[in-house]
Amino acid sequence: MKVVVGMSGGVDSSVSAYLLKEKGYEVIGLFMRNWDSSINNDINGNPNLNVNICPQEQDYNDAKGVCDKLGIKLYRIDFVKEYWDNVFTYFLEELKKGRTPNPDVMCNKYIKFDLFVKKAMELGADFVATGHYAKIVDGNLYKALDKNKDQSYFLAYVNKDIFKKVIFPLANMTKPEVRKIAKKLNLDTASKKDSTGICFIGERNFRKFLSNYLPNQEGDIININTKQKVGRHIGLMYYTIGQRRGLNLGGDHSRSYVVSKDLEHNILYVANGDENKYLFSTRAIISDFNFLSDLKLDKCSAKFRYRQEDVNCQILNISNNTIDIVYDKTRAVTPGQFCVLYDNDKCLGGGIIDKVFE
């Protein structure tokens, strides 16, 4: 049986390839090039000279080194245009609406578990595999054993039928165990740090990067309780609900949090204190829901952010791909982000948070 592994140049995909080979699969590596820093033009279409080169060339070299050591052939495929059209454009459009997008979710949907899978099948693959921490049981998506690293949240928007052809070799492993194997094999990626943040921004300054694509529009910061102006923001797209750092508010407003945005009047609203009522909600409308399993009008749990604990919730209504849910009082549920529903460890699907209610 032939398996094509998505080789990212990280330790997780490296060990995944090794584990599959040890199990007797014929393993082929496939490196996806999704971003080209040479096309980083500014908002006027001029070449942007302020954006650093993306580190993906080093990632490719690391993937190549691992594949050479394991005796695996590595292919390289270019999805730059498709990534721009399906992921980066979505990212910019959501920011223009004052929402908080999640490009990693869209990358999994349109690139890693669509175009990558199609290319793998062209290479004669029976299955595809990645270094994600997640589990497939009878074609259904579940949380991985390592709950601290579980990535099912990012996979909830993938077409369910794809999972029939997917293997997650790290489903029942912990991150320390993965690194231990990599070090034992003396792989170049054994001590490589996990990638963080948005892949096309990397270690670059978010504001500096984004200013090349969206113009800044400064405006007032207003305390939602007193209606008084307490500062100036540098553009609504740079802020998210629940944010406190980077507001540059002093005095009595030093512990203020972002609680809402007024796009029409270009106002950023804040409120003081960790427990201010504007930070919390108990109901949300989830749109464009991707069903991975049949949903019942019953209790389940919801995850509103990757690192956020699951929250008890109940589905009030399902209308086509829109779901109305109520949940335990939760902090900073943010329009534009993804809500993923679970039945214990089983992932039921996910959609985009559209509206939030107190």
Catalytic residues: 107, 199
- The residue type at 169: P
Q: What's the rounded Cα separation, in Å, for the pair 336 and 87?
A: 14
Are 325 and 316 spatial neighbours (Cβ–Cβ below 8 Å)? yes
19's CB contacts (< 8 A; 6+ apart) are 169, 170, 181
Three-state SS letters, 58-91: HHHHHHHHHHHHHCCEEEEEECHHHHHHHHHHHH
Q: Give the single-character DSSP code of 228.
A: -
Q: What's the rounded Cα separation, in Å, for the pair 108 and 75?
A: 19
Are 331 and 279 spatial neighbours (Cβ–Cβ below 8 Å)? yes
Long-range own/partner contacts, residues 241-249 (CB < 8 A, 24 or more apart): 241/100, 241/279, 241/332, 241/333, 241/334, 241/335, 242/279, 242/331, 242/332, 242/334, 247/221, 249/221
Are 257 and 240 spatial neighbours (Cβ–Cβ below 8 Å)? no
| Residue listed under structure tokens 């009008």 | 297
Q: What's the rounded Cα separation, in Å, for the pair 130 and 139?
A: 16
Are 87 and 210 spatial neighbours (Cβ–Cβ below 8 Å)? no
